[in-house]
Amino acid sequence: MIQFTNVFKRYENGHEALQNVNFTLQEGEMAFLTGHSGAGKSTLLKLIMRMEVATRGQVMIDGLHLSQLGKRHIPFLRRKIGVVFQDHQLLFDRSVYDNVALPLIIEGMDPKDIAKRVRAALDKVGLLSKEQFTPIMLSGGEQQRVGIARAVVNKPPILLADEPTGNLDPKLSAEIMQLFRQFNAVGVTVLIASHDLNLIGRMGQRMLALTEGSITHDGAPR
Ligand SMILES: Nc1ncnc2c1ncn2[C@@H]1O[C@H](COP(=O)(O)OP(=O)(O)OP(=O)(O)O)[C@@H](O)[C@H]1O
């Protein structure tokens, strides 16, 4: 589903953020991506979303060679990928419902289908009763759940998260991780960047570790 082959990424200022990265994440697999600050975690996620392009090597996502992907095909790739950010990037002047509906409105989906999809997504994250709240009325953990509902509302086969629990305490972090596990259990391929090694250890999933842009561990958590 996600395949990196000899991938290098050098930014325009000459900084080599990724060096010879090789790994494959099979369809339906779940893994964590860890490493020190500046190790290249966000860069790797950006290559998957085609927000950045590899300088050398090949990134393949669900059969698409990203280096050969024309600009007009990028939206097609992005629809396959749900993304959760640390700061969840919600619109604070809109309801929970509107925030989750946004990707479907952008896609031009029929409003009747939108309502069904939004409620199904909110139900999965346990927030159905709060659809008319604005994010400001929610706790940090609940806000992150809205971010997750928005990421999965169009049923992408891939879910990426960049430090999704960075602002949460250990108990809430564990709950959010259980949600990712539930999506993975129904077949979604999940890759989560995090530097919380305790949490990763408790999850017991495959761990990829980056050190200065190179993969230095791929396997059970250390
Ligand atoms: N657009 C850019 N131009 C130049 N250098 C960049 C750019 N984006 C990132 N970098 C550099 O590339 C390296 C990897 O950055 P990246 O954001 O991928 O690391 P990270 O592992 O996600 O770090 P953190 O945990 O702090 O978010 C860093 O040294 C960073 O300064």
ipTM: 0.94
Where in the sequence is the domain holding 29, given as residue range(s)? Answer: 2-80+156-219
Residue 96: partners with Cβ closer than 8 Å, 6 or more residues away: 122, 127, 130, 131, 132, 133, 134, 135, 138, 146
Short-list 84, 43, 45, 37, CA closest to 61: 45
> Token pair for residue 87?
């700061």
* 142 falls within a domain: no
| CA nearest ligand 1 atom 11, residue | 17
pLDDT tens column, 105-157? 998 999 999 999 999 999 999 999 999 999 999 999 999 999 999 999 999 99
User: What are residue 215's DSSP bridge partners?
Assistant: 210
Two tokens at 111? 């409003």
8-33 pLDDT per residue, tens: 999 999 999 999 999 999 999 999 99
Q: Which residue CA neighbors atom 17 of ligand 1 most closely?
A: 42
What is the Å distance from ligand 1's center to 45 Cα? 11
The domain total for the chain is 1
Say if ligand 1 is within 6 A of residue 13 CB. Answer: yes
Read off the pLDDT of residues 211-221 as tens digits, 9 standing for 90 and up.
Answer: 999 999 999 99
Amino acid letter for position 83: V
Closest-CA residue to 218 (of 191, 199, 198): 191
**Would residue 173 count as lying in a domain?**
yes
Residues 6+ apart with CB under 8 A from 201: 221, 222
Q: What is the mean pLDDT of residues 188-198?
A: 95
Q: Is 17 in the pocket of ligand 1 (CB under 6 A)?
A: yes
**Tokens of residue 180, six digits:** 């990712």
Question: What share of the chain has pLDDT > 90, as a percent?
Answer: 89
In a domain, 191, yes or no: yes
Q: Is residue 107 part of a domain?
A: no
Spell out the residues 6+ positions from residue 116 whose beta carbon is closer than 8 angstroms to its own.
none
Long-range contacts of the stretch 100-106 (C-beta < 8 A, 24+) = 100/146, 100/149, 100/150, 100/153, 101/153, 102/150, 103/150, 103/153, 103/154, 104/153, 104/154
Considering the domain boundaries, does residue 54 fall inside one? Answer: yes
Between helix 170-185 and helix 140-152 the angle, nearest 10°, is 20
Q: What are phi and psi of 75, to 5 degrees?
A: -60, -35
Decide whether any atom of ligand 1 lies within 6 Å of the 38 Cβ: yes
Task: Indicate whether 118 belongs to any domain.
Answer: no
CATH code of the domain in which 42 resides: 3.40.50.300
- pTM value is 0.95
> Best mutation site among 15, 16, 44, 192 for ligand 1, i.e. most ligand atoms within 8 A of its Cβ?
15
